[in-house]
Structure 1
Amino acid sequence: MAFIDSHCHLDFAEFDATREQLIRQSLELGINHFIVPGVSLAQSYSLTSFAKQYPSVYIAIGLHPYFMAEHSDEHLDELNKLAHKHKDQLVAIGECGIDRSIENIAKQTQIFEYQIELANQLELPLIVHHRQSHDLIAQSFKRCKPKFGGVIHAFSGSLQQANSYIKLGFKLGVGGVITYERAQKTRHVIAQIAPEHLLLETDAPSMPLAGFQGQHNTPLQLPLVFDQLCQLKQVTSLNRNDLKQRLYDSCSALFRI
């Protein structure tokens, strides 16, 4: 039985000194695929080369709201050209979305909806970032309906919101958040969602698990996220492999890997 880390930034500089060893150790743990999202135009360009170096890496390209100050209308055109040129390399468009902690919601929305349309053109799923923005994302989805689903990265929301995403063909990203006792709402929701609607992720080097605060997160922590999910779902030792397989199949089906 194997794992897929459905969201990790292995190309980030934090891993420059340890990347080869980290990938080798991950493979030894049964983590045999990594989905690496794009966050900016420049980094999306570099990902097309990065993926060729590592057979276990699959990539998405996109414009993340954190880098809103960098993004321009020209970047949208360039992202479009890059996506069409490297379509065969891509498993998704993203990381894209809307974040209320960042200024200029109107520009964020424009860029997000452009990427929804791009994903639809290329028949690809979306990797969606949110922060205090489920309502805004829902509005964008009404104006520009995603046709090939995707994943709501680091999902934290209500059961109603979770089911709304699932009805649109989205899966929910499950990571380190569920290891924190204070995240009771998210833990309660995730416990109720069927495994075929969930993906495991780390968001490495971000989102460290409880007990590892202040450290860079890595894909090596993915089995600990799985352990916590097993506890939330009250999965017995006899059924762990079944849950692991269903999560693997969920990710494989979404990203077609």
Structure 2
Amino acid sequence: MLGLAGFIDTHSHIQLSGAPERAALEIEAARRAGVESMLLAPGAPGDWAPTRAFAHAWGLGYLLGIHPLFVQYADEAALARLRAEVEASLEDPFFIGIGEIGLDGFVPGQDQAHAEAVFAECLAIARDYALPASIHVRKSASRVLMHLRRRMPAGGAVHAFNGSDQERESFLQLGLKLGFGGAATYAGSLRIRRHLAEVPEDAWVLETDAPDMPTSRRRDAFAHGASLLDTAPADILEAADAAAMLRALPLEAVAAVSRRNAIAAFPRLAPLLTRPDAFARRGRDTLD
């Protein structure tokens, strides 16, 4: 593990990248780079079974939920099935919580009333089973906060946080961690980088959103002719480098703090990481 505490990617969709062979190569590269685990987030209900299977195959954690960009697939039957899937997964050591859920105010034409009803039910499921959530917030913070105050999950993280100072404090007061990834590597992301520099030590986690949310290196390579802009799981080290610079910490401390915060946000990670079939432990013999 390169002498570091393992990096935990608290938000990834690498299982849905559509290129299984490339995903496998990238996950092995992440293991060699010191990534200890990842949380796999589905999008639509049809992603639940593939996400669970991928998590089991690699020894990774997974979430169950309905992404706000896929709420058109979330009727009453789908929400009932989500509740049933969550209840059936409580004994699964690889199941970590609810996600990705939330609200998105960026995409035009979305039925916001339906989206809010879906989000509310997903939060109710998280609350009823005392589970944390990975929460999507894009141009929707006030509405997301309103729903959280009504149906607060058992902790979790705000994915790709990019809000105001007031929104930052509101989410932190609810006990949520703030997720930082590829956007924090851009010199021009002044607000995001300031948040990462300023938040309390126990308030932030690292993520990649792979294959989305590319780092500045990925963007520059693509601009110079690289064929892919996709984010890879090992790119979490670039987010970690940004955190190290912005918080004036050695990389080893970034790894340790972000790992501790990830476990605090998603407590079911703790027993998963100790299992002999967990991701990092499966590859330890070949890496040592």
- Normalised-by-shorter TM-score class: over 0.9
Match of 1:121 in 2: 128
Which residue does the alignment assign to 1:85?
88
Aligned positions of 1:19-168 closer than 5 A: 19-55=23-59, 57-89=60-92, 90-102=95-107, 103-144=110-151, 146-168=152-174
Question: What TM-score, normalized to structure 2?
Answer: 0.84
Q: Which runs of 4+ in 1 moved over 4 A?
A: none
What's 1:233 paired with?
247
State the SS of the aligned residue for 1:63.
coil
In the TM superposition, residue 101 of structure 1 has moved relative to its aligned partner by: 2.1
Q: C-alpha displacement at 1:40, in angstroms? A: 1.3
Q: Which runs of 5+ in 1 are unaligned?
A: none
Where relative contact order (Cα < 8 A, 6+ residues apart) is larger, the structure is 2
Gaps of 5+ in 2: 223-228, 270-288
Counterpart CA distance in 1 for 2:238 and 2:161 is: 18
Structure 2 contact 130–153 (Cα < 8 Å) conserved: yes
C-alpha separation in 1, matches of 2:264 and 2:145: 24
The residue aligned with 1:12 is 16
Deviations 1:64-102 (A, max 9, x none): 111122221211011111111112332110100000123
Q: Which amino acid counterpart does residue 25 of structure 1 have in structure 2?
A: A
Distance 1:30 1:129 in 2: 26
Counterpart CA distance in 1 for 2:11 and 2:239 is: 13
Q: Is the 8 A contact 1:195 1:243 kept in 2?
A: no
Alpha-carbon contact 2:240-2:251 (below 8 Å) kept = no
Q: Does 1:224 align with 2:228?
A: no
Distance 2:34 2:114 in 1: 41
Once residues 6 and 220 of structure 1 are traced to their aligned partners in structure 2, the CA distance between those partners, rounded to angstroms, is 13
Q: Which sits farther off after the overlay, 108-117 or 15-24? A: 15-24
Alignment pair present for 1:181 and 2:187: yes
Paired with 2:172 and 2:6, the residues of 1 have a C-alpha distance of: 24
More divergent stretch after superposition (219-228 vs 205-214): 205-214
What is the TM-score of this pair, normalised by structure 1? 0.93
- Distance verdict in 2 for CA 1:147–1:5, change over 3 Å: closer
CA distance in 2, matches of 1:152, 1:117: 17
SS at match of 1:39: coil
d(CA) in 1 for partners of 2:23, 2:192: 31
Distance in 1 between residues matched to 2:148 and 2:56, nearest whole Å: 33
- Distance of aligned partners of 1:211 and 1:24 in 2 relative to their CA distance in 1, 3 Å threshold: closer
Q: CA-to-partner distance for each residue in 1:147-198, whole Å, 9 max, x for gaps? A: 4111000000122211211111100001011111221112112210123111
